[in-house]
Structure 1
Amino acid sequence: MDKTVDAQIKLGKKDGFRFTISYFLFSLLWMAGLAIIAAVLLPQHLRNVVGAEGSTAVFGVLNAATAITSLLSNLIVGNLSDRTRSRFGQRTPWIVAGGVIGGVSLFAIGLFQNVWLIGVSYCISMIGLNMMIAPAMATLSDRVPENLRATTSAFYSAGTTVGTSLGTLIGARFITLQTPGFITAGILMGIAGIATVIVWPHERSAKSLPSVTGGVKELLASFRPPLKGARDFWLAFTGRSLLIFSYYMILNYQLYILLSYIGQSETAAAATISVMSIVTMVVGLVGSLVSGSLSDKFGRRKLPVNIATLLMSIGFLLPWIMKSPFSMILFAGFSGLGYAVYGAVDQALNIDVLPNKNESGKDLGILNMATTLGQTVGPIVTSILVGFGGYNLVSPTAVVFSALAMIFIQMIKSTK
């Protein structure tokens, strides 16, 4: 990574504060909107449309479709934002437009009673979401100095944690009256981009940047993933994919686990999810903010990953061992804390391993594909495991993937 470019990034306290708050607000809004749908309303909507027996398989297929959509859109938008020369900046137009597209299509999921239309709308919402995430993460590299990145990343992670909990809580409240829940989800996603660019320091016009030359051939060539000097980049990509993969194997199936594995009714499961959401929100806030500030203070990125992996693994195993509603609450506490600790340094670590700062949008887009990959493929593996041997296989498999993630991240040499 080009440290001389980092050294030129200077922010006053006011602007630094605005960035930390804007990243918290950004992740809080889009994650809350998505969690309402992904964690509660979409699984329940599918149960209503195709029945309880077929909903698990359909949910897995939808996750596969959105995985592919998200992987491609994150890479494409990240690269195109690097090449954008708008008077509104490189990143701002994409972030605002992405929120609107994501919000409208997320709400539309609840209007459809056809699985194909639900799937198309869900995929479009992922395109909109990644139109926000890819340029927002590039902004963290472009405009936030190195000594503030873990703190800003921590606020982003805290927003994600609170958003997940808040969205799940809202979704649980609307499990029997879904339309208001879908409306709320669409609004939260829709305003995420607009609110973010209003709060953070105004992005300068990109018209003064060197113009992008070349035609279609050059554009296609620009999508090549980094290869030279990119060992740590790919280690970070693999570790991130596996760790998020393990977490979402259980998180996205929490409703089905409570209903089909533990044996709760819909009403009781909704109540348990509400408690889990509150627990995750509390431990997530503490874990994110404490871990992020300590990471910036001591310049350590990998140690928090070790702590996070241990906490998450404990959380994965408890429902397998205890098989009770309380064990899922403990899962929320341990795994939520671990995921927050990891998330606090996640984006800072990603920027530390970038091989070329001038292609930060594209390369961070690739690294953000790891998040999408983990969030979407994890539940697919869960659906396959359930089909083969039931929910007993899920927790041990998640522990194995989290341990592999820690090994890959510890192999990184360019950051401590």
Structure 2
Amino acid sequence: MADPIHDGAVASSALAPDTGKPLPASSLVRFALGFILFGGMWMMSDMIGAAVLLPQRFVELFPGQAEAVLGTMNSFGSIFALIANVVFGALSDATRSRFGKRTPWIACGGFIAGIAFWLTSVQTSLVGIAVFWSILQVGLNMMIAPAMPILSDRIPLMRRGTISAFYGAGVICGQSLGTIIGSAFITDIPAGVVFGVISWFLTGLLVVIIWPRERSAALAQTQRSDRLSPSALLKSFIPSCRGCRDFYLALVGRFLFVFGYFVIGGYQLYILERFIGLGEIRASQVLSILSLIIMVVSLVTSLTSGVISDKIGRRKPLVAVASVLIAIGFAVPWLVHSVASMYIYAALSGIGYGVYSSVDQALNVDVLPSREQAGKDLGILNIANTAGQVFAPVVTSSIVLITSSYALTFPFAICFIMLGVVFIMLIRGVA
């Protein structure tokens, strides 16, 4: 077995990029805890509103038009998220402060998101809802865009799958916990909103406290002869073009996966009520159980898959297996309309999503064209997330509007998820 201290190739993969030294075990633990907390808290806060409380409020405010309102809100919000992710990723690359280049943005974004969440919840017009939800997405991506490059900036190559798995596990737990907590407040929406606001406020602050302190970026600026100018800042927003084949394949593959997943995953409450045929209270109860199933199985598979990915040094086969499992999970309730079929959907899609989320972010970091512009490039890759969420609600709402049923959304989602696998398997630089 190769010795990571004496084997040159292995040694470089075991070194932290920001220090050039092995990452201490205590720091690795702090990064793992910080990533799982960050993913969990932002997703929990988002799901409390987007998946439960706001959809239920729209049913009361806009009878017969709730899906259209939700789709419009998510579409506008995702457009702003798309822009904010690229902008704040590039700005964090260029930031020079004694707190580091990522930390200031992460710490501030949660406060903007929290205030915007409360303002969204009290709106009674579609315009007001869309405006403040869009501001929330700006605050959220002010945190996400600088946080994800930490994998490239500070985590050794041989540990990225593991740390990515902790982030994925956090997102999974947050998705389920947010749905469970939101369902518990479905008859007391204002109290649920207050809970969400507090969670937003704490998201960015807690993670920068838990992570080892980022090295000052102010000194780096003083040591550079090419101080950042307005023209240089503008150039930093230009997408990478040379030697980026794998980068853009990963972008397309991720978009197709996210798009297909959210065609179904973003509409579970409505599917239970209008496709399976459950009443409001029963649907919220089943939704809580679905979320618990997804959380448990995804958490287990996410953490184990990340470690396996690092051990075998491969990402693509795990992505393919994950996508197939999700596709099968979507097919079950499409063919059999029952609560039991939704439980099977939760188990299979939860396993698949856990595996996918554990290696996807590590794969994306592995195909980055430049570590110096990791924030911008990961922001571009995250266009896949935001664009997928822009188009998914539009397509789902359109299918339901035209067919008066959710039936066709299932095969539609399955096709796009499997198409995403094709693009990921075409990547050459990652096994």
TM range (shorter): over 0.9
Distance of 2:201 and 2:255 partners within structure 1? 27
Consecutive aligned runs of 4 or more in structure 1 exceeding 6 Å deviation: 2-5
> Deviations along 1:94-135, whole A, 9 cap, x unmatched?
001101111221122222222221211111110011000010
Q: Select the structure that is richer in helix.
A: 1
Q: 1:9: Cα distance to partner?
A: 5.3
Q: 1:14: Cα distance to partner?
A: 0.5
Contact 2:94 2:228 (C-alpha < 8 Å) held by counterparts = no
Contact 1:9 1:145 (C-alpha < 8 Å) held by counterparts = no
Letter aligned with residue 46 of structure 2: L
Q: Does 1:403 align with 2:418?
A: yes
Question: Normalization by structure 1: what TM-score?
Answer: 0.96
Q: 2:53 aligns with which of 41, 44, 48?
A: 41
Equivalence for 1:60 = 71
Q: In structure 2, the residue corresponding to 1:10 is in which secondary structure? A: coil
> Deviations along 1:322-372, whole A, 9 cap, x unmatched?
111222222111112111100001111011100111110100111122122
Contact 1:250 1:379 (C-alpha < 8 Å) held by counterparts = no
Distance of 1:346 and 1:369 partners within structure 2? 14
Q: Does 1:76 align with 2:87?
A: yes
Equivalence for 1:171 = 182
Letter aligned with residue 414 of structure 1: G
Contact 2:161 2:310 (C-alpha < 8 Å) held by counterparts = yes
Q: In structure 1, the residue corresponding to 2:372 is in which secondary structure? A: helix
Q: 1:55: Cα distance to partner?
A: 1.1
Q: Does 1:353 align with 2:381?
A: no
> Deviations along 1:74-96, whole A, 9 cap, x unmatched?
00000000000011110000001
Letter aligned with residue 356 of structure 2: Y
Q: Does 1:88 align with 2:99?
A: yes
Distance of 2:280 and 2:293 partners within structure 1? 20
> Deviations along 1:45-87, whole A, 9 cap, x unmatched?
1111111x11111111111101110000000000000000011
Q: 1:382 aligns with which of 396, 405, 410?
A: 396
Q: 1:320 aligns with which of 314, 328, 334?
A: 334
Q: 2:162 aligns with which of 143, 151, 156?
A: 151
> Deviations along 1:195-222, whole A, 9 cap, x unmatched?
0000010111111114563543332222
Distance of 1:120 and 1:348 partners within structure 2? 33
Contact 1:109 1:182 (C-alpha < 8 Å) held by counterparts = no
Which stretch shifts more, 113-122 or 91-100? 113-122
Contact 2:256 2:416 (C-alpha < 8 Å) held by counterparts = yes
Q: 1:239: Cα distance to partner?
A: 0.5
Equivalence for 1:24 = 36
Distance of 2:230 and 2:155 partners within structure 1? 32
Q: 2:245 aligns with which of 231, 234, 246?
A: 231
Distance of 2:30 and 2:126 partners within structure 1? 42
Query: Which of the two has higher C-alpha Rg?
Result: 2
Q: 1:376: Cα distance to partner?
A: 3.5
Distance of 1:345 and 1:285 partners within structure 2? 13
Alpha-carbon RMSD? 1.6
